[in-house]
Amino acid sequence: MTAALTYAFLVFLQFGLNSTESYRRGNAYYEQGKYSEAIVAYEQASKEINNGGVYYNLGNSYFKRGMLGKAILNYRRANFLSPRDSDIAYNLNFARNYRVDKISSAQSPFMNLLSEVLHSVSLFEAQLLTTILFMVSVFFLSVLVVYRRKAAVYMLAASIFICLFFFISWLSWRAEIEGSHAVVVAPEVSATSGPGAEYKEILLVHDGAEVSVRETRGGYALFQLPGGVGGWVPTDALEYIF
């Protein structure tokens, strides 16, 4: 038993060390301007460990190589893990402004603000905080059941309110994940009206376009842009964020 635990710990450490190692290597390449090598190292690190910093550096490397789609994809992943990191948000926005396709999001400022507030905690944080606040709420409910104090009502209401906020944040993240969000990684691809090259070309999209995938059929995916337009593209032209 002890031996098994020690082994597990060693394996964990090994992984940790390995990923740290590839991460360092990536940083070194990046500093020298060897972005392609940096990409390989960071990709390795990102396979071994889930860390916003790794995705961020990977995104930077892709951006320097001019692969906008991949850059946005990795910034999105980094942003998912560390939503309050201003560097990630800045570079994501920066990369978005470099896109060929200018897709204006038709969202109202209020909705933007709401989304920003809800996404100020990551999914994991939202889950944890929801659970903790739920426990706190039940604790106050128990206090209320046993002692019937008015103060407990206020505390209960407050904790339920905060709990609900994090729960909505949780749900909104889940919706994001289940929305099958993807990024166009091919530099330029023609979308067709059906799943296959023989269909009529209806739309030209460039790398970096953030889409949601409606369905896939025989190596083709039907994507949709925020405005509602969309079409079929080969699945390898897209990469899922989550």
Partner 1 sequence: MSRKGRKVLKKIGRILLLVPVLLLSAEIRFVASIDRTEVEIGEPVILTVIVEGEDLGQIPYPKLPDLPDFNIGGTSTSQSTSIQMAGGKSIRRQLVNFIYTLYPRSVGETVIGPCELELSGEVYRTKPIGMKVVKGGAVPGQPKSAQAPLPSVSGDDVNGNLRLSAAVNRRSVYQGEQVVVEYALYTRLRLADMSLGELPSFNGFWVEPIFDAQRIEFQRKTIDGVLYDYCQLKKTALFPMSSGQLRISPMKLNVAVLQSPRDFFDFFGTTKTVVIESDPLVVNVIPLPVEGRPGDFTGGVGEFSIVSSLDRTSSEAAEPITLTVRITGSGNIKLVERPTIPDIPGVRILDPEINEDVRFAENRIQGYKEFNYPLIPQTDGEHAVPAITMAFFNPEERRFETVSTRALKFVATQTSSAVELAQSGGLKVTGSDIRYIKPDVKRLSSQPMSAGWWLVFPYMATFVMLGASILYRRHQARLISDRAYARKVRSSKLLKIRLNEVKQHLMKNREKEFHAALSRVLLGYIGDRYNLEVGALTNEGIIQELRVRQVPAETIKDLEYLFNQCDMRFSPGMKCDDPRMLYEKTKALIAKL
Residue numbers at the binding site for partner 1 (CB under 8 A): 16, 19-20, 23-24, 27, 30, 45, 49-54, 56-57, 60-61, 63, 80-82, 87, 90-91, 94-95, 97, 102, 104, 106, 108, 122-124, 127-128, 131-132, 134-135, 138-139, 141-143, 145-146, 242
CA-nearest of 48, 52, 54 to 30 is 54
Name the minimum Å distance from CB 214 to partner 1. 24
CB of 161 to partner 1, least distance (A): 17
β pairing state of 210-217 and 238-240:
unpaired
For residue 223, what are its two tokens? 């994507």
| Cβ closest to partner 1, residue 2 vs residue 108 | 108
The residue type of 162 is I
Q: 133 vs 191, which CB is nearer to partner 1?
A: 133
Contact residues for 41 (Cβ-Cβ < 8 A; gap 6+): 22, 23, 25, 26, 29
Nearer to partner 1, 5 or 146 (CB): 146
**What DSSP character marks residue 200?**
P
Minimum CB separation from partner 1 for residue 137, in Å?
8
Q: Which of residues 2 and 97 has its CB atom nearest to partner 1 in the complex?
A: 97
Is residue 70 within 8 A of residue 62, CB to CB? The reply is: yes
Residue 194 CB, nearest approach to partner 1 (Å): 32
Spatial distance between the Cα atoms of 120 and 123, rounded to a whole number of angstroms: 10
Q: Could you tell me the smallest distance in angstroms from the CB atom of residue 199 to partner 1?
A: 31
User: Which CB, 174 or 214, lies closer to partner 1?
Assistant: 174
Give counts: helices (H), strands (E), the chain: 8, 7
Structure tokens given for 183: 């990024």
